[in-house]
A and B are shown apart, each in its own frame.
Chain A
Amino acid sequence: MARQEDGIVLDVRHLTVHFDTYAGQVEAVRDISFELHEGETLALVGESGCGKSVTCRSIMGLLARNARVAEGEILFEGQDLLKLSNRAMREIRGGKIAMIFQDPMTSLDPTMKVGKQVAEAVRLHRKVTKGEAKKRAIELLDLVGIENAEKRYDSFPHEFSGGQRQRIVIAIALACDPKILIADEPTTALDVTMQAQILDLMKDIQKRTGASVIFITHDLGVVANVADRVAVMYAGRIIEIGQADEVFYDPRHPYTWGLLASMPTLHTDDELLYAIPGTPPTLISPPPGDAFAPRNPYALEADRLMDPPLFEVTPTHFAATWLLDPRAPKMDPPENILKRRTEYQVRLSERSAAL
């Protein structure tokens, strides 16, 4: 697991992204900052429209034409990615920073042999001969678990299952030994058993290559499986960030409480599920304060008026809610969140007793 002292590979500071639309200016990402450490997996979690994909597209330099980075910087190897020319960005994209998209059906070219698609990615960034590129492509296909890679090199995407196609997409992303791998809902289109295999593959590859991974998903089960650290996003902001255990077992923001409580576990029975009331706000002139406040039964007056800063819970765990202000009244999280905390403490003490 990544530790704080590990090197920082990517440093996103005060990123703010606006979209110009007919309806007005959409504030899709609002002043978010985070660091990505060497060799770690950081999960960006949130619902549609929370800004998680826009954040990653900003890093990749793949924002839509009507998007504008209003503020902020993205530091990678000492330079600000947002200031690079298109040409320089092309060198980095697919080279040092690679991306895996959600839908393997649409991210492969249906008319091109898969091996060639992998080899193309190799040749784009490296001066190698066609033969060397092919050899490397076969190695990569083998690495991601395509059996008989040499034979399958000449197959077309439609000859593979959804899970195998996602493996090929991963092979393409790995073509140039990226330092950072951005995976945008890479398993959402897959069945659970296939999802499990792809998650195992990604963890295995990360171990072997030492790449850092930003993993975007809305599935908290997947997050629990892959993430070292978790950033929860809501309405364009990071509202809670911390190590996976901290966010899952000791969440502090009421939105994180709501997300965790609204998922049935295999032990949830008859009672109604906890449902967060209402819907996320529109991001055309979003409300002041904590954007979650209107849906939040725990909201304080301050949450409606002023933007809460990210309060420190531990040196690795922060949450943006005025509930953490020393002046705030003491408030207990919902019962099932308390249960998570207690269960975890029991496990921790059992573990330390076993040592």
Chain B
Amino acid sequence: MTDAPLVRVEHLTHVYPGSDGKKAVDDVSFEIKEGETFGLVGESGCGKTTTGRMLVRLLDITSGSVLFDGKDITSLRGKELLDYRRQAQIIFQDPYASLDPRKKVRDIIAEGIDIHHLAKDREDRDAQVSRLLASVGLRPEHLTRYPHEFSGGQRQRIGIARALATRPRFIVCDEPISALDVSIQAQVVNLLRSEQKARNLTYLFIAHDLSMVKYISSRVAVMYRGKIVETGPADAVYENPLHPYTKALISAIPLPDPENERTRKRIPYAPREQDLRGTLREVDDGHYVLGE
């Protein structure tokens, strides 16, 4: 892992058309270092998915900028945008809805290879797809099957292979395990981690399962109503939350430990205007909290 940020997000803002100027993402800034996993947490509607989609240019950036490896990708078009999309991939939340039901697994995985002309010939294409399939733990006979023939966990593996196919450097993982059963979640998270090590991948990991985010991320950011209210090393944010919203969020995580659940104190949070004002201030090494 080097210290140079691979992704630098500055004052990112998104306004959905027809929302009367309401900012779904409001002046968000953060950096992701090469090879690291950066976790983005928050409740539904807080803007975390919108942020992730802007980073891979699936959504237009209303204002602000995204630098990828030092290059501004905010308003890339045509060939340059295509090249960026090869390097920045996304894994979606719902493995049931994100795979084309009419395509065979081989062609789903190869789509990126085809679009970006990454294979010399048919043989090379098939060889690449087979390697990808094996690396996500599926078997060769799965190549000619359709998505509906797979379980949720297997479909998410296909989604991961599809994202890896273009040899990206950066992957936005948008709630990749939320739709999966507990025993399958661990399999998929382990797969993401081992691929990250093998390929030196950089992840933005979006989720609402806070224990899993802590486990997989080195640094996290907490979003609330379109803003980042706190960010820092995962351990610091979880063990020493500073923003009142983060405090409430961390105190609400249910843990598989009855004794702990009986004795825990939940911190309620009543939204206040002033909690969302000001800028991110550094309070400890790399640990920032929103305030005036």
List residues of A whose CB falls within 8 A of some B CB.
47-48, 162, 191-196, 199-200, 218-225, 227, 244-245, 248-249, 258-260, 262-266, 268-269, 272-277, 279, 344, 347
Check B211–A263 contact: CB distance below 8 A.
yes
Check B215–A273 contact: CB distance below 8 A.
yes
A162, closest chain B residue (CB): B44
Q: Which residues of A contact B183 (CB under 8 A)?
A: 47, 258-259, 262, 275-276
1/0 per residue, CB under 8 A from A, across B255-280: the answer is 11111110000100100000000000
Bound-complex Cα distance A222 to B182 (A): 13
Q: Which residues of B contact A162 (CB under 8 A)?
A: 44
Mark out the residues of chain B between 174 and 194 whose CB falls within 8 Å of any chain A CB in the assembled complex. Answer: 181-187, 189-190, 193-194
Check A248–B256 contact: CB distance below 8 A.
yes
Check A200–B153 contact: CB distance below 8 A.
no
Where chain B touches its partner, the secondary structure class is helix
Sample of 7 more A-B contacts, CB < 8 Å, known A192-B253, A264-B215, A265-B211: A219-B182, A219-B254, A221-B256, A224-B256, A249-B258, A272-B194, A276-B183
Check B238–A273 contact: CB distance below 8 A.
no
Name the one of B189, B190, B238, B266 contacting A266, with C-beta atoms under 8 angstroms: B238
Check A262–B186 contact: CB distance below 8 A.
yes
B252 interface residue, CB < 8 Å from A?
yes
B43 interface residue, CB < 8 Å from A?
yes
List residues of B whose CB falls within 8 A of some A CB.
43-44, 151, 153-154, 181-187, 189-190, 193-194, 208, 210-212, 214-215, 238, 248-249, 251-261, 266, 269
Name the one of A47, A193, A273 contacting B252, with C-beta atoms under 8 angstroms: A193
Check B189–A263 contact: CB distance below 8 A.
no
Check B190–A273 contact: CB distance below 8 A.
yes
A-B contact pairs, 8 of them (CB 8 A): A192-B249, A219-B182, A224-B257, A259-B182, A259-B183, A262-B185, A263-B182, A266-B214
Check A275–B187 contact: CB distance below 8 A.
yes
Q: How far is the CB of B185 from chain A (nearest CB, A)?
A: 7
Check A266–B186 contact: CB distance below 8 A.
no
Check A272–B190 contact: CB distance below 8 A.
yes
Check A48–B253 contact: CB distance below 8 A.
no
Bound-complex Cα distance A244 to B255 (A): 13
**Which one of B183, B215, B249 has the greatest number of beta carbons of chain A within 10 Å?**
B183
Check A221–B186 contact: CB distance below 8 A.
no
Q: Which residues of B contact A258 (CB under 8 A)?
A: 183
Check A195–B212 contact: CB distance below 8 A.
no
Q: How far is the CB of A192 from chain B (nearest CB, A)?
A: 4
Check A224–B43 contact: CB distance below 8 A.
no
Q: How far is the CB of B186 from chain A (nearest CB, A)?
A: 4
Q: Which residues of A contact B266 (CB under 8 A)?
A: 196, 200
Bound-complex Cα distance A274 to B183 (A): 9
Q: Which residues of A contact B193 (CB under 8 A)?
A: 272
Check A222–B254 contact: CB distance below 8 A.
yes
Q: Which residues of B contact A279 (CB under 8 A)?
A: 151, 153-154, 184
Q: Which residues of A contact B259 (CB under 8 A)?
A: 245, 344, 347
Q: How far is the CB of A293 from chain B (nearest CB, A)?
A: 15
Contacts A245-B258, A275-B190, A279-B151 hold; do A262 and B215 have CB atoms under 8 A apart?
no
B183, closest chain A residue (CB): A276
**Which one of A200, A249, A260, A265 has the greatest number of beta carbons of chain B within 10 Å?**
A265
Check B256–A220 contact: CB distance below 8 A.
yes
B266, closest chain A residue (CB): A196
A161, closest chain B residue (CB): B45
Name the one of B153, B194, B253 contacting A221, with C-beta atoms under 8 angstroms: B253
**Which one of B190, B208, B254 has the greatest number of beta carbons of chain A within 10 Å?**
B254
Name the one of A248, A262, A264, A277 contacting B258, with C-beta atoms under 8 angstroms: A248
Bound-complex Cα distance A192 to B252 (A): 6
Contacts A191-B43, A220-B182 hold; do A266 and B253 have CB atoms under 8 A apart?
yes
A247, closest chain B residue (CB): B258
Q: How far is the CB of A87 from chain B (nearest CB, A)?
A: 38
Bound-complex Cα distance A158 to B210 (A): 28
Bound-complex Cα distance A221 to B182 (A): 11
Check A264–B210 contact: CB distance below 8 A.
no
Name the one of A191, A194, A224, A264 contacting B211, with C-beta atoms under 8 angstroms: A264
8 residue pairs, one from A and one from B, having the closest CB atoms: A221-B254, A264-B215, A191-B43, A262-B186, A275-B186, A47-B181, A220-B256, A196-B252
Name the one of A193, A196, A265 contacting B256, with C-beta atoms under 8 angstroms: A265
Bound-complex Cα distance A276 to B256 (A): 17
Q: Which residues of A contact B254 (CB under 8 A)?
A: 192, 195-196, 199, 219, 221-222, 224-225
Check B252–A48 contact: CB distance below 8 A.
no
Name the one of B184, B212, B261 contacting A264, with C-beta atoms under 8 angstroms: B212
Q: How far is the CB of A275 from chain B (nearest CB, A)?
A: 4
